[in-house]
A and B are shown apart, each in its own frame.
Chain A
């Protein structure tokens, strides 16, 4: 390259191409995304977070929680499983048949074949779609995370490091508000050997009045605050907990299908 202009053009073209790909592309493809509908339901997804939870996202951002926590569940694929719903009139025959068949970890075709056999014998079976992967086996989520999960978030706090567990579905996993607050105040009180720093600055240690405040945290026996004191969450702590409880990526979607377990056979 002989002159400054050719260097400038080279850089302009190279960066311009990737700008079109990774800036213009996603803005065009995802920037106008809207709510989607939940599979086999008239509900829409995602639902706008409540006011407290929306403010809680800002506490999450300000505290830099995403430095250690991801909100992305990974999935290796899906398998099908067949569940017997009803044995029908020939209960004994169907039960016998079912006991000889492989019912889980099937492909779609295998599952159809198994379901057909059960139907022919007079029973009734349901085919379920089950996502698989280590994150799902750990119970961190029921399906992989998709773009729709982050539709209303600003800033999107997807994270890139798991110094702590994934939080994509923490609201469904750990729905107890008191547990969440105690965990923020003293992680070691509820998770043994937790490496998480306590966020005591989000709480107030108050002298006990005539009666405990309704907001005061309920601690396990070994971790009670000093006698005559109680721990009360600040508004920020409540908002953060509300945000954590609002993290529920558990709706089956077209791009991440699964069959919710509603009836145990």
Chain B
């Protein structure tokens, strides 16, 4: 779409919209380009890790890809490399759009995006060479963490400045969720790093408690805040209907941040009994926001006449459904009866993979497919890939998270019966893991399509930039300049 054309046809509002979109262009490209690379890298590493369960001695002579390292690097590349920068990019755009103002300090997020992706690179390489910190979801050593923390603060400054400049003073539900996410990450990340990754870490199992608190607040709460904030913006926009109820959204927001943040302490952990008990109680109460989100999503989308067709709306709808399922899995695994079976099994990884890939990644891909053509000012190079990716992701995630989840329950049943040999429990899990590998492969294919769209767009934009630069250089000098 040519901006001048729109201004003639549609008037002032679109001029503003396209100016806002243009102000986000470079920062978002910097965030999304790196994110797309990490999505592919993370999934490739994940696939490499899972190959150990097909052929145990595959990486017997290669320390860099031994299961424990490849797995941690894959998870962190997906979470820190894709999820968070993609979430931040979409957040910047939503803030600018909702504020009806251009992005403030656009240079800051450009620099920050590069620092962030450098931090992820440092951290991922560190894990692969054996420099991981050994704390789940916090494996990046200090060098990487400092870069990530700085970059997040810089992006937060730009986001808050844009928010402060808003012309539309009223807050939307998306604002609550995204603003809370901006506060959440620096707090939990600094706490975890300052108490765990220092020369004077806290003693003994207090480390475990803090790591569990951090992991839950990042994977469940942060991803939910950023993902739902995005979904609550795009669901009504794409479905062409207003968000079902602001009051219900407010209720979901409050209950999510009040209860969700207490989940995550495993039921059998060697910690004082009040901690798992408090966590279990909070998990049961987390049912409230999960159901509230379900009601909001269903009531907003139902009756909409917008065609889905595998486009961005489909992505966001599927992602929201995955959120509800992963929330229910989290709640189930905190109930003592159920956790006796699923604790220490693949059910836990199934839940985090569903949250990270099924919910967050899918919502983000949908949002990016919707906003990127507007931001760039031209359409997607491969519009058909959107639909193909939707199907690949949907099938892949059902296969991958589904087989991990079902395999986890089967494994837990065998693990809980002392008459069954331990090898039987791993054996049954192996069958499901191998089936799940197909799913992971499909997700990887989908992510390649996503990356292709992003990169071709970036290259197209760079070529256009180069051409306009050339045109400036080649342009004949004006008469005045020649004379003087």
Contact = CB atoms under 8 A, between A and B. Distances in A.
Given A15-B183, A64-B71, A156-B208, A195 B345 contact: no
Instruction: From B56, B71, B206, B261, name the one whose CB has the most chain A CB atoms within 10 angstroms.
Output: B206
A107 B132 CA distance: 47
B348 interface: yes
A199 B268 contact: no
A157 to B, nearest CB: 6
A165 B67 contact: no
A239 to B, nearest CB: 13
A134 B210 contact: no
B176 A7 contact: yes
B183 A27 contact: no
B1 interface: no
Interface in B183-223: 183-184, 187-188, 191, 195-196, 201-210, 212-213, 217
B371 interface: no
Contact of B191 (A19, A63, A70, A134): A19
Interface string A9-37: 01110110111011101110111110000
Given A8-B183, A165-B422, A14 B205 contact: no
Contacts of B278: 21
Nearest to B263: A18
A4 to B, nearest CB: 6
A22 B179 CA distance: 23
Instruction: From A11, A15, A62, A158, name the one whose CB has the most chain B CB atoms within 10 angstroms.
Output: A11
Interface string A28-53: 01111100000000000000000000
Contacts of A15: 183-184, 187-188, 217, 257, 261
Nearest to A198: B60
B426 A150 contact: no
Given A31-B202, A74-B268, A197-B58, A64 B171 contact: no
B58 A138 contact: no
Contacts of B271: 26, 30, 147
A65 B254 CA distance: 39
Interface residues of B, number: 87
A5 B53 CA distance: 50
A195 B72 contact: no
A216 interface: no
Contacts of B160: 4
Interface in A142-163: 144-163
A68 B67 contact: yes
B213 A156 contact: no
Given A147-B271, A162-B344, A200-B60, A14 B257 contact: yes
B63 interface: yes
A27 B202 contact: yes
Nearest to A74: B268
A6 to B, nearest CB: 9
B416 interface: yes
B191 to A, nearest CB: 6
A100 interface: no
A161 B470 CA distance: 58
A161 B204 contact: no
Given A64-B72, A195-B430, A201-B61, A1 B250 contact: yes
Interface of A: 1-4, 7-8, 10-12, 14-15, 17-19, 21-23, 25-27, 29-33, 61-68, 70, 72, 74, 134, 137-138, 144-165, 187-188, 192-201
Interface of B: 52-53, 56-63, 66-69, 71-72, 130-136, 160, 163-164, 169-171, 175-176, 179-180, 183-184, 187-188, 191, 195-196, 201-210, 212-213, 217, 250, 253-254, 257-258, 261-262, 265-266, 268-272, 275, 278, 343-346, 348-349, 411, 415-418, 422-423, 425-427, 429-430
